[in-house]
Amino acid sequence: MTEILYTLVGAAAIKLIDYIFIRGNIGLNEATAIRKELRTEVYKLKKEIGRLQAELTSWQKAYYELQAKYNELKVSYDELLLKYNDLQLDVEKSKLDILENHNQTVPV
């Protein structure tokens, strides 16, 4: 999408420069040299866009891998937290059972 935009902008710039040069009676060799320079610049921009798109794809892949790992760890954390809470309840229940048994065996 961006490549098309840059291509259109480059083509429009070339047409604009052609119009200016023809209107201003600039020599044909100068106009050709400037068009060549603009084409070179458009080519460089297309290459840079390609490089940036590849880099973006790489970062997106890394992001999604990290997001998946985070989700896995979050699920594991939540499971462990539930187990921990269950164990805490079991410990409290055991303490109460011990106190009740102790109170029943000790005469008052």
Question: Tens digits of per-residue pLDDT, 79-104?
Answer: 999 999 999 999 999 998 888 888 77
What residues make up the domain containing 29? 2-105
If one counts the domains in the chain, the total is: 1
- Does 79 or 3 have the greater pLDDT score? 79
pLDDT digits (tens, 9 = 90+) for 23-68: 655 566 777 888 899 999 999 999 999 999 999 999 999 999 999 9
The Cα-based distances of 68 to 42, 48, 57, 63, 77 in angstroms read 39, 30, 16, 9, 14
Instruction: Report d(CA 104, CA 92) in Å as an integer.
Output: 18
Structure tokens at 25: 């009676």
Cβ within 8 Å of residue 6, ≥6 positions away: 42, 45, 46, 49
Model confidence band, residue 21 (pLDDT cutoffs 50, 70, 90): low
